[in-house]
Amino acid sequence: DISVAYAAGTPVWPGDVPYSCGWTARRESGSSVNLGVVTTSVHAGTHADAPLHVESAWGASESLPPQAFVGAAYVVALPVDMAPDAEISRELLASLIAPMTDAENGGFPSRLLCRTGHSVARGAFPESWPVLSADAAAWLVQSGVRLWGTDAPSVDARTSTALPVHHVLFDGGAYVLENLSLHAVAPGRYELLAQPVSLHGADAAPVRALLRAIV
């Protein structure tokens, strides 16, 4: 399980709505059932951004294609001494992917998950995290990548307002997973099971993300 839970206490983007679960009916008060109501930002835990998140004319959460989030996926880990505000260059990414791109493993991966080490799974919202350079993002979509996932809160930098990585990926037909929990996952090839919830009209959808070893 590589999901960050939608739970009380899960760190959210500063100013965003945290998760809470309340009750509209309780058995202790005489109701026949317990009936819960949830309030949360859809970005609070592990989630798939919809294109609507960055462009009002683009597709909402119901447009997220299921097939992009299920199938072979490669986990890569950034160097532990990499600066938290560094860009992930095309050259670095190519060196991390190279050991996994032979013909036996199916060639260039269509789903990539990146362990930056800067995750809310550690218990606090990180100040910064490495993100793809524009060149690296463009190279990924040109190479056929359909999904870029990160353990960081966003595929763009915390201070970014232009959100260039979101735009390059969505423009190229790729999708985004954010807030993964990858600290205990070794680099390598896995099967990813990360279906977005069938939520309509939103700019993102919660995900329960699982990895299964390929043997």
Q: Which residues are catalytic?
A: 53
| Dihedral (Cα; 119, 121, 122, 124), 10-degree rounding | 80
Residue 175's nearest CA partner among 152, 155, 197, 151 is 155
Q: Is 4 helix (H, G, I), strand (E, B) or coil?
A: coil
Owner of token pair 């309340």: 22
Neighbours of 33 (CB within 10 A): 8
User: Which residues, 6+ apart, have CB-to-CB distance to 6 below 8 Å?
Assistant: 19, 38, 40, 44, 45, 206
Can you state the percent helix, strand and coil of the chain, rounding each to 5?
Answer: 20, 25, 50
